[in-house]
């Protein structure tokens, strides 16, 4: 049994960039599933500034595994990635909610009394802003840990999909998509083609 686990870990450590992306996408799906369907199953909800932290922790654990397998075994680097991911998650959610509330408030101010106009793209705009903030914080945290990630094109591979992908999605779908694109893009950027 021990040799099987050792062989499996060795295989994961030596995986190609495309296989790493597939592995992280699969783990991102697990992370998103836990975030959506099991937030309080085995732990009381961790909330900071009205933001549940468990989705960020799940996502951070996946990226922490990626760092452990393919970048460094340093506990400090892994904790840096997990912490930056939780901060990115909370900042993205707070930004999106604040943008939504600000736009709604502006609409109420300019509308006739008692009639608030509805604009179909308010969720998309607030989601794009939240995705931009969260993806940028995540890219910054990853660049602290992985030197290869400091180049602009590698940041762009995480920030652009994290910003643009949220355009047509609801909040939960945005965060799931953010996870599924950020993790494979991180690996692709940090370890070449």
Predicted pLDDT of residue 162: 74
Total of domains in the chain: 1
Instruction: Say whether pLDDT at 138 is over 80.
Output: yes
What mean pLDDT comes out for the span 3-14?
64
What three-state secondary structure class fits 51?
strand
Pick from 131, 143, 120: nearest CA to 190 = 143
> According to the model, what pLDDT value does residue 154 have?
79
Which pLDDT belongs to residue 77?
A: 94
| 189 pLDDT more than 80 | no
Q: Which residues contact 27 (CB under 8 A, 6 or more apart)?
A: 62, 65, 183
Q: Residue 172 and residue 165: Cα distance in Å, rounded?
A: 13
Task: Residue 129: give the domain boundaries.
Answer: 2-191
- Please give the C-alpha separations between residue 9 and each of 6, 71, 80, 143, 171, in angstroms, as whole numbers: 5, 14, 22, 25, 35
Dihedral in degrees, nearest 10, Cα atoms 150, 77, 133, 169: 110
Given a contact cutoff of 8 angstroms between Cβ atoms, the answer to whether 53 and 46 are in contact is yes
Nearest to 41 by CA among 53, 30, 54, 28: 54
Distance from C-alpha of 96 to C-alpha of 171, rounded to nearest angstrom: 9
Q: Show Cβ contacts of residue 118 under 8 Å, excluding neighbours closer than 6 positions.
A: none
* Reported confidence tier of residue 193, pLDDT bands at 50, 70, 90: very low
8-13 LR contacts (CB < 8 Å, sep 24+): 9/69, 12/69, 13/69, 13/70
**Orientation of helix 17-37 relative to helix 171-191, angle to 10°:** 160
* E strand intervals along 132-189: none
Rounded Cα distance, 177 and 193, in Å = 22
Is the full-model pTM beyond 0.85? no
> How many whole angstroms separate alpha carbon 79 and alpha carbon 35?
20
Q: Round to whole Å and give the CA distance between 186 and 157.
A: 7
- Higher-confidence residue: 110 or 17? 110
């Amino acid at each position: 049994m021990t040799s099987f686990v050792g062989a499996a870990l060795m295989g994961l450590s030596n995986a190609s960039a495309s296989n790493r992306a597939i592995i992280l996408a699969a783990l991102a799906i697990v992370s998103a599933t836990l975030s959506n369907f099991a937030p309080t199953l085995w732990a009381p909800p961790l909330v900071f500034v009205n933001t549940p932290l468990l989705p960020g922790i799940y996502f951070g654990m996946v990226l922490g595994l990626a760092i452990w397998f393919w970048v460094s075994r340093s506990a400090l680097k892994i904790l840096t990635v997990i912490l930056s991911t939780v901060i990115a998650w909370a900042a993205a959610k707070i930004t999106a909610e604040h943008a939504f509330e600000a736009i709604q408030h502006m609409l109420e101010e300019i509308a006739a009394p008692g009639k608030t106009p509805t604009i179909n793209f308010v969720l998309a705009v607030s989601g794009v802003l939240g995705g931009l903030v969260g993806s940028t914080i995540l890219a910054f945290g990853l660049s602290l840990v992985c030197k290869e990630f400091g180049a602009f094109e590698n940041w762009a591979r995480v920030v652009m999909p994290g910003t643009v992908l949220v355009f047509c999605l609801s909040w939960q779908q945005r965060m799931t998509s953010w996870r599924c694109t950020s993790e494979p893009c991180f690996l692709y950027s940090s370890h070449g083609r």
